[in-house]
Structure 1
Amino acid sequence: MSLCNVGETEEKLDEIMRAVKNWMDAKQLKLNEDKSECLLVGKKNDLRRLATATLRMHGTTMEVKHVVRDLGVLVDRHLSFHDQINNVVKATGYHLKNIAFIKKYLDEKTIKMLVHNYVMSKLDYCNSLYYRLPNYLLKRLQNVMNRAARLIKGLPRRERITPPLIDLHWLPIKARIIYKICLMTYQALHFERPKYMNNLLSAFHLDTSMILRHSVDRHRLIEPRCNSDIGFRAFATCAPRLYNMMPENIKNSENLQIFKKKLKTHLFTECYDLNEKCIKQDYRC
């Protein structure tokens, strides 16, 4: 919800929550207004101006938080995701420490399974939110992945990490983020799910009979204009751009499994220099 006027927003919010409460009452569920929280998201100057804003719902004042948890993701009011990445690094570090403690009793296949279930799954969860975050934040996630690779391969701390990553066929963090966004875009276009994502994507159509370079790509999407860095991180803005950059043979994939395989192979060759055994500059954190 976009907030321009606190009073109007409070009325709109109360109307929405009244509809939610009526739906929950019909399903014999209870909405606890005392535990409801709200988050004001915006630029620093706007948040400073609205520092004293309060929102009420059914006569109950809602607590304005700086950080809220939504589906396990910590969302802060600046959308910086500092708290979320701190939480991921802390949780994965705990699991890596425990796996290292029992490593001598396990074979490499079992260690890979544990790392995938307890570490990589946390790095990949909702990672599309990390698109275009500063390198110093993404580097913390990349360091976790590097620790996991060293644990599996039994490498010392100062050993080069890129060859083990290539051997494990792991994409670096930046490539994993692009992979997730392109995958969600393909699913939204071909399966129309989720519907709200499908509604954010529009096919590119030419208003001329002339044959241009863009007309060759049948799967091209309209790329919305954007003037702010945070706007480029929105799915409606970044998804069409990343999807249009993919080769045509990937977008022509017959099914989801073939698309995933081709996309990973493409990103793997894009982010790694297989001759020098190093990560290319664009994918370094």
Structure 2
Amino acid sequence: MLVKALVFPHFDYCSALFLDMPEEQMDRMSRCMNAAVRFFTGRKRWEHITPDYINNNILKYRSRIKYTCVSLIAAVLRSAEPEYLTRSLVLHSAVAERQTRTDDLCLSVSGAATTCGQMSFAIGGARLWNSLPLGLRKGFQRPGIGADLRRYLLDLQSGG
């Protein structure tokens, strides 16, 4: 798994910023990652690559971005640092004064006028956080949320 140690960190560098990456660029990055996986598994170009992702417990590029973003959100919620991110990531319970149907672990999502603003870390990340199952969001105080999140994303990726 030398590729996991030497190549994949380059894909993960600042990946939480890539929530708003255009689909065309996302596809290019996914193809680059597929090429790296094909290189170390020996799979030919015309062969399907998904079994290699599943067998080696590798998250696909889009899932890696989600993993990094949600891990960063959990760390910010847990430590309340840095302050500028804490101000933009507010739990719904701190905002709502009346009874609502949402649970207390949803992040409030503010509006943005532009498409770029809609996919910013504060808004796109909050939507991503709110889309997670409640059981996973409840564990954000534990340092082990990363393993649970990874397992959840791998299950989604494999169709489970």
Tell me whether 144-153 or 160-169 shows the greater mean CA deviation: 144-153
Q: Residue 143 of structure 2 aligns to which amino acid in structure 1?
A: L
- Greater percentage in strand: 1
5+ residue gaps in structure 2? none
Measured after TM superposition, the shift of residue 189 of structure 1 is 0.6
Give the distance between the partners of 1:271 and 1:224, measured in 2 at CA. 29
Whether 1:203 aligns to 2:114 is no
- Deviations along 1:42-84, whole A, 9 cap, x unmatched? xxxxxxxxxxxxxxxxxxxxxxxxxxxxxxxxxxxxxxxxxxx
Select the residue among 170, 173, 184 that pairs with 2:58: 170
- 1:225, distance to aligned residue in structure 2 (A): 0.9
Q: Which residue of 2 aligns with 1:184?
A: 72
Aligned pair 1:269/2:158, yes or no? no
Q: Which residue of 1 aligns with 2:18?
A: 130
- In the TM superposition, residue 227 of structure 1 has moved relative to its aligned partner by 2.6
Deviation at 1:224, TM superposition (A): 0.6
Secondary structure in 2 matching 1:199: helix
Note the C-alpha offset of 1:271: 2.9
C-alpha distance in 2 between matches for 1:270 and 1:213 = 26
Which string of whole-angstrom CA distances, capped at 9 and with x for unpartnered residues, describes residues 168-213 of structure 1? 11111111111111111100011122222112211213322x4x32
Taking the aligned partners of 1:263 and 1:198, their CA distance within structure 2 comes to 21
1:255 paired residue number: 142
Distance of 1:157 and 1:220 partners within structure 2: 42
Higher helix share: 2
Q: 2:122 aligns with which of 236, 240, 252?
A: 236
In the TM superposition, what whole-angstrom CA distance separates every residue of 1:110-166 from its partner, at most 9, and x where no partner exists?
xx12x1232100000001121132221111111121112112211122111111111
Which residues in structure 2 correspond to 1:79-94 (within 5 Å)? Answer: none
| Residue 233 (structure 1) shift | 2.2
> Which has the larger Rg?
1
Unaligned runs of 5+ in 1: 1-111, 275-285
Deviation at residue 268 of structure 1 after TM alignment: 1.8
Amino acid at match of 1:228: T
> In structure 1, how many angstroms separate the alpha carbons of the residues matched to 2:17 and 2:121?
9
Structure-2 residue corresponding to 1:149: 37
**Root-mean-square deviation (Å):** 1.6
Is the contact made by 2:19 and 2:121 (CA closer than 8 Å) also made in structure 1?
no
Tell me the distance in 2 between the aligned counterparts of 1:184 and 1:124: 13
